[in-house]
Structures are given as C-alpha cells and as structure tokens.
Structure 1
C-alpha cells in the first residue's frame, strides 16, 4: 500500500517508517501540511499528525476532503474530546492518540483499508444519462447511438463528473483529479475544456454549473 505520512517529529517518523516498511507499505514522509495537499495523489492512505509546523492538521484535513476521498488516519498527541470529534466530523476515517501501540496502528490501517475497498467495490463503470452513455473503462462516449470524439482532457473532466452523477462536485476536485493539484493556474484551462465538452455533447442540461462551488452531471429529469 502507498502511505503518505505527515509527521514533523523526526524520531516518531523514523519509528513509523520502519514498522510500515517491515509490513510491506511503501511510505512517503512529509513534514508540512502544504506538502500533503501537493503529494496526496498516488497515495492510498494518509497518516496525519495535527501539530504540523505550517498548517494545523484539521485545516489540512478540511482542505483535503474538498478534493479527495482518500483514507485518513489521524495520529496525534491531541486526545481531547473536541479535537477527536472535529477530526472525525471533518472526514477522518480513524483517530489515534499518541503514544500508539504499533500493532494497533497496523490493525487500524488494515481496517480502514478494508472499509474503503468495500465502499469502492460496487462502483459502476458505465454511466447513462438520457441518451448519453459513458464507458469509463473504454473511455468512450455515445450519444443517441453516435460516438462523441473527445480529447483526453475533455474525457477526464467528464469522467470525474460522471463517476459522481447527480452529485455536486467542487471545481477544486475536478482540477485536482484531472491536473494533479487544485491549481488556480489551471482554472482557465478547465473553463475552455468545459465549453468544448458542452458543445460536443450538445445537451446543455447534462452539465450544470453550481455557482460558487462546481458542477453536476446528470439529467434533472432522470
């Protein structure tokens, strides 16, 4: 498993890296919250300390959840009830207070991973809205029996939205999943590709802009 470890204490990080390596996990260690938001893609699970030197870990978790549903286990010295409740409500999958027994940490990681796999198992790989069918695996779009030719980026954007059909998807999440980060510099490119995508689909009702937030794919009449 690919694990991202956000821990600024070198001693704690060294112990965790050793035990994770011994149990077959490929782990990347970062010291700052901003690095979590840069490098989370490509990792399956985040071990998150809340006392990071640049950004509070709860703020990192809040920002991460705007763009990613990756598994997160909080691993911190903060054991007060308020911090635990806030961490779980912000989207942490588990919350452990230091010092933690390493065997328990490994068991919690396994449990979170199993739950995440169970959630993802039934995900549909074909999405239909009206007379439009999107095959996410074959990267094919058919509208009223006719293939719609899309560029790579156009399909990637459509796939992010179609995989969550009927659900509001933030602009930041689209940027993150298509370009690798929620970069504001890419916002203009996203607008251009969305315009082209709407033109090719020729079904304005399928792609709805949610002002101030993002987009939703799906026919409101479905």
Structure 2
C-alpha cells in the first residue's frame, strides 16, 4: 500500500447500486476505505461522526439538489469533491466546479481513472496544507526591492506600485518564494497552486508561470526572476527574505 494512501476514507454518494458497488470494490482492492450512501440525507450526519478525506458525489440524485449538497460541503470544509455526471450535463459540471467542486468524471467512467483522480486530489490537498502551514508563520516575503504581503495577499513593486494577483498567481509566487533557488517540478507547482480541474495538466503551469512573469515585469523591467529548468520545472533565482 502506498504510504500516502494509508488510512484514507472516501465517502461516495451514488444512487445507482451497480456504480456504488463498483466504487466500493475497486477502491477497497486498492486499500482505500469507502463508505457508500444511496442519497445525501445521511451524508452530513456521517461526516460529523467520521473523518472523511474525499467525497465522490453524483449530481443527479433523485429528489435532491446536487448543487446544494456541493455548496453545503464547500461552506463547511475544504474537503476534496469529485462530481459524477452524465455526458449531456456540461452546464451542471461547470456550475459544480464554480461552486467549489474539485474535479468531475463523466459516466460511464473507468474505476482506474477514478483512483488516479483521487490520488491526485489528495496529494494536492496535502500540498495545500503544507503551504498554508508555511504561510501562517510568514508575514511577508521580500526580494530585489519587492514585497509580497502574505496576510493582505498583496504584491508591491520597488516603486510602491501594487500589482494585483489572482489566487493562482499568488499561490504560485508564494510557492516560489518559500523555496527560492530550488527547482520545483510542474507537479509540485500544480499541487501547491490548486488550479481549477478543467486546467489540471502539466502545461497549465507553463501558462500560469507566463502570466506571473508578466506581472513581475509590471514596472517595465524584465527581471527574469523565474528561470525555466528544461525537463525539470522552474526555479526562482532571486535572494528572498522571509518576514516572520
């Protein structure tokens, strides 16, 4: 058993008994504990009693609003959520992601792909916790006259101009500043930036890094803070001071 998957407890909410049993059997064969429910009525009561690491949720449960279940799940916690949808339900998938779900699979789906998605989301969730723990101890990062105020999520140029960052850009820059002069792989950066899952693939990081580079040239100077390490990832090359 992979050490990263030890003690993982997944909750699946699916009304189709054949799909429900397939999920239970396949994940169980891969050392993942699964609790399966046919509807959402007992979901939150169960989550009060049990520690759940990830939820697999069918959006089309009879007599229930799957979107409301997603919204309540996300308002209560940051638990990873994978949606199960039909092929013709693109609008539902988009709305589910906008409400805070992390990924989706279209029925019929491969249990092997489901397992891969679960592993990826759990890796990313753990990476997020690591970054959050680090940022909770840091007030700001300073480099080459710039300052990233962590509490305010604000980047300021040497001339005092505020550069507006998206959440992804902030998370990427914070990851770089936490590990300066260290090569970070695309997978590490994906784990730490928590991109929307319709963009989760290695080259999405190339796009995000390109956008961040342009933000770091906001004062009209090409700084080349972020170097591309061919075949390996990226490295932030400036000296960085952490303000605690």
The bucket for the TM-score relative to the shorter chain is: 0.5 to 0.7
For residues 118 and 14 of structure 1, the distance between their equivalents in structure 2, rounded to whole angstroms, comes to 30
Could you tell me which residue of structure 2 aligns to residue 40 of structure 1? 47
Give yes or no for the alignment of 1:15 onto 2:43.
no
Could you tell me which residue of structure 2 aligns to residue 69 of structure 1? 78
Contact 1:7 1:13 in 2 (8 A): yes
For residues 78 and 33 of structure 1, the distance between their equivalents in structure 2, rounded to whole angstroms, comes to 22
Contact 1:33 1:56 in 2 (8 A): no
TM-score (structure 1 length as normaliser): 0.54
Q: Deviations over 1:127-172 (max 9, x none)?
A: 79xxxxxxxxxxxxxxxxxxxxxxxxxxxxxxxxxxxx99xxxxxx
Equivalenced residues, count: 130
Give yes or no for the alignment of 1:56 onto 2:65.
yes
Give yes or no for the alignment of 1:29 onto 2:47.
no
Could you list the runs of 5+ residues in structure 2 that have no partner in the other structure?
A: 1-7, 138-150, 153-244
**3-state SS of paired residue (1:27):** strand
Deviation at 1:124, TM superposition (A): 3.3
Could you list the runs of 5+ residues in structure 1 that have no partner in the other structure?
A: 129-164, 167-222
For residues 47 and 96 of structure 2, the distance between their equivalents in structure 1, rounded to whole angstroms, comes to 18
Deviation at 1:103, TM superposition (A): 1.2
**3-state SS of paired residue (1:53):** coil
Q: Deviations over 1:159-205 (max 9, x none)?
A: xxxxxx99xxxxxxxxxxxxxxxxxxxxxxxxxxxxxxxxxxxxxxx
Partner residue of 1:85 out of 94, 100, 121: 94
Could you tell me which residue of structure 1 aligns to residue 113 of structure 2? 104
Deviation at 1:76, TM superposition (A): 2.3
Contact 1:50 1:75 in 2 (8 A): yes
**3-state SS of paired residue (2:76):** coil
For residues 127 and 69 of structure 1, the distance between their equivalents in structure 2, rounded to whole angstroms, comes to 17
For residues 26 and 126 of structure 1, the distance between their equivalents in structure 2, rounded to whole angstroms, comes to 32
**3-state SS of paired residue (1:19):** helix
Deviation at 1:125, TM superposition (A): 8.8
**3-state SS of paired residue (2:128):** helix
**3-state SS of paired residue (2:42):** helix
4+ residue runs over 6 A deviation: 125-128
For residues 77 and 68 of structure 2, the distance between their equivalents in structure 1, rounded to whole angstroms, comes to 14
Q: Deviations over 1:96-151 (max 9, x none)?
A: 110001111111111111111110113339979xxxxxxxxxxxxxxxxxxxxxxx
**3-state SS of paired residue (1:123):** helix
* CA distance 1:121–1:12, shift in 2 (3 Å): same
Could you tell me which residue of structure 2 aligns to residue 145 of structure 1? none
For residues 66 and 78 of structure 1, the distance between their equivalents in structure 2, rounded to whole angstroms, comes to 27
Contact 2:14 2:38 in 1 (8 A): yes
Over the residues paired in the alignment, what is the CA RMSD in angstroms?
A: 2.2
Contact 1:75 1:97 in 2 (8 A): yes
Could you tell me which residue of structure 2 aligns to residue 4 of structure 1? 11
Contact 1:32 1:54 in 2 (8 A): no
